[in-house]
Amino acid sequence: MAKPEYMLLAAFLCDLLFGDPRWMPHPVRGIAWLAFGAEKVLRASGMPLRVAGLLCVLVVVGGTAGAAWLFIEAAGRLHPVMGVIAGVVLLYTSFAVKDLGDHARAVGDVLALGDLPLARGKVSRMVGRDTAGLTEEGVALAAAESVAENTVDGVTAPLFYGLLFGPVGALAYKAASTLDSMFGYKNERYREFGWASAKLDDLCNWIPARLTVLAIAIAALLQRLRFFDIFRAVRQGAGLHASPNAGYPEAAFAGALGVTFGGPRSYGGVMHDAPLLGLCREVCSAATIRNSVSLMRLTAVVFLASGIGVRLLVRQIP
């Protein structure tokens, strides 16, 4: 079996080159199918919803990890090289660097051309808020916020678990993240059933979110962005976010870019006030989106390089 570092590098390069082709079967679709099936069966069992939700987590995360291990093992039985390729493919599907950047840049490109209606349509594919009435600044803010928010669950957290536990760990993390996106809502249907999914996602992202701030800071320094504002913004604003983790990368991005994230936004016609994150109130624009994408990509490179460096150092310890 190839060293995990080489597999991660190969998978990361594949993501940068190819992204997530529409024609390619993606494990997240299988995870979602398993989650919906498990929900249906467990709800019908009549057990308490919180217990049913916990069992759903065990079935989906455990089933995903087991399936990933079997896939790699079966491929390796055919030929050792096939096992390596299987591991690289699974790692590759857990990253979203190219797709996240491409979606955001598409918004910025049409915004720069002055096509606000098209920009609203494109940013609606990235965010859950209502976009029909967004101004140019509102569109740019939504796109840049989405890049910041997804830098952890789409980039650094899969890298973190891939570095620690290989392809199986990265896929297990994707299962936990998918469960949270499906069931982690505090509404009447999922408040109890989705409790375990939401708590597991919080737990899985706790360390990666905080390590990501350091990677963002190094990337910002390399890009000559607002390095010192990152730590001030995180210290002042990260704890204000409703999520115990999302405020860290969002505040760090806001500090680095010199903008303020948060503020009023509409979901299903209902207005909400998100906490203000950042130190400066410069106007968000197409340039802000471009800078956020560059910062996200460089953060990913820094995070991966640092993780590989730590692994190599640990390996030298007798």
d(CA 34, CA 304): 30
Element housing 266 (H / E): strand 261-267
Per-residue pLDDT tens digits for 54-87: 999 999 999 999 999 999 999 999 999 999 999 9
Question: Can you give the pLDDT at residue 268?
Answer: 83
- Other Cβ atoms closer than 10 A to 318: 2
Helix (H, G, I), strand (E, B) or coil at 265: strand
Q: Which ranges of the chain does DSSP label H, i.e. alpha helix?
A: 4-18, 27-44, 49-78, 80-94, 97-112, 116-123, 136-151, 157-183, 195-223, 227-237, 247-257, 286-316
Burial class (CB in 10 A: 0-12, 13-18, 19+), 268: exposed
Question: Can you give the pLDDT at residue 282?
Answer: 84
Mean pLDDT value of segment 217-235: 96
Q: 225, 256 in Cβ contact below 8 A?
A: yes
270 phi/psi in degrees, rounded to 5: -105, 125
Question: Can you give the pLDDT at residue 232?
Answer: 96
Among residues 180, 24, 4, the alpha carbon closest in space to that of 15 is found at: 24
User: Residue ranges per domain, the chain?
Assistant: 4-316
Question: Can you give the pLDDT at residue 188?
Answer: 85
Q: 120, 107 in Cβ contact below 8 A?
A: no
Question: Can you give the pLDDT at residue 5?
Answer: 86
Per-residue pLDDT tens digits for 253-266: 999 999 999 988 88
Cα dihedral 289/290/294/299 (nearest 10)? -10
Q: 79, 93 in Cβ contact below 8 A?
A: no
Q: What is the mean pLDDT of the chain?
A: 93
Q: 199, 231 in Cβ contact below 8 A?
A: no
